[in-house]
Amino acid sequence: MDDVTIWHNPRCSKSRGALQLLTEAGVTPTVVRYLETPPTRVELEDVLRKLGTDDPRAIIRTGEKAYRERGLAEADRDTLLDALVEEPSLIERPIVQAGDRAVVGRPPEKVRELLD
């Protein structure tokens, strides 16, 4: 399988599990450490499209302190996307993309959906 990318946080067990699942399946993904190299708004929009939604809440960690501090519970779409760009720790992990599809790998086994 070509053209697989994982937005990865090596400190996250779910992210490590998804990466391991990919490599065990013979896939060598492009690993993007999104905390070090945050996605742009265009990249976030692309991931949402691949996930089949336009709602940023599909990829936002609502339990994070920054989510509460920024008052994002009632925020509109643009505000949420801006927050994800500015504060990549709010991005759910891992996100795996393959071609025109993507999944949030929670649990990591969800990555198998892309391998079929």
State the CB neighbour count (10 A cutoff) for residue 92: 19
Is 33 a known active-site residue?
no
Say which of 12, 31, 51, 115 is annotated catalytic: 12
| Dist CA 96 CA 29 (whole Å) | 9
**Pick from 75, 85, 32: nearest CA to 55:** 75
Residues involved in catalysis: 12
